[in-house]
Structure 1
Amino acid sequence: MKKYKIGYTTGVYDMFHIGHLNILKNAKSQCDYLIVGVTTDELVSYKNKQAIIPHDERMAIVEAIRYVDKVVAQEDMDKMAAWEAHKFDVMFVGSDWQGTEKWNKFEKEFAEVGTDIVYFPYTKGTSSTKLRGVLEEILTGSNK
């Protein structure tokens, strides 16, 4: 396994769960310094939802994880702008994005600047979407 100097990954990290921890732990095992972009509340709308946990609290949670060296706000989806700002040599992403038109384009752009993309397996069983569904059932009483 190749060891990188600076790694970068992003996420909403709403309702932090084992899948989030897995990606951060795996990312840190492959780089010396891990930068994590936490999606702002405004940008979360790209998923057509609102974050349950406010951005500043999500930043604090991620910052407290021992695998994380630096936390930054992700204010837009421009990964090359993030590269310009942080000069990482690898970006870590969930495998659910692999092979998509968007990420195939990022792979080409990053290759031009010598940056790799490493895809990690999506953690099955737990997701923020599932947790959100359970919360909605509890709050609306539709689980009766």
Structure 2
Amino acid sequence: MRIITFGTFDMFHVGHLNILERARSMGDSLVVGVSSDALNFAKKGRYPICNQDDRMRILAALACVDKVFVEESLEQKAEYIQRYGADCLVMGDDWSGKFDHLNTLCQVQYLPRTPAISTTELIEVVRSAPPR
């Protein structure tokens, strides 16, 4: 089974690794769409801390990831699923229900996020830390 997932993967942390390893364990290969810098700005109103090339390089270096590509648009998920021949779309449960319409193309699974860690929270901690 071929698995596909998507995300920004900024400030890579153990929560990212957990979901990628769980997704990979569900199939024979894992393809990861990394949100472009422009897409991230459109979604969140800010650019990622790490640029898309660095984020892609980090993901490509992981043993659980077989292929990485740039995700240019949330609306193209169906096209990406078809392009990469995905049998299953895996997303974090913060997206629960948002991609159910893609069940006609592949199985859709929402996995629980790792508790008590998020990129947004990490960025806030770093911003609020006193200068050294």
Whether these two folds match at TM > 0.5 is yes
Query: What residue number does 1:94 align with?
Result: 92
- Give the drift of 1:111: 2.5
Please tell me the residue identity of whatever aligns with 1:64.
A
Please tell me the residue identity of whatever aligns with 1:35.
V
Query: What residue number does 1:107 align with?
Result: 100
Please tell me the residue identity of whatever aligns with 2:47.
Q
Structure 1: gaps spanning 5 or more residues: none
Query: What residue number does 2:122 align with?
Result: 131
TM-score where L is the length of structure 1: 0.84
Match of 2:37, SS state, is coil
Among all aligned residue pairs of Structure 1 and Structure 2, give the percentage whose two residues are the same amino acid.
Answer: 36
Segment drifting more, 121-130 vs 77-86: 77-86
Aligned length, in residue pairs: 129
Distance 2:31 2:68 in 1: 6
- Give the drift of 1:112: 2.1
Measured on the aligned residues, the alpha-carbon RMSD in Å equals 1.3
Alignment of 1:15-30 (within 5 A): 15-30=11-26
Distance 2:7 2:112 in 1: 15
Match of 1:67 among 57, 64, 72: 64
> Per-residue displacement from partner, 1:40-80 (whole Å, max 9, x unpaired)?
11110111221001110000000111100001111111211
TM-score where L is the length of structure 2: 0.92
Distance 1:7 1:52 in 2: 27
Please tell me the residue identity of whatever aligns with 2:128.
E
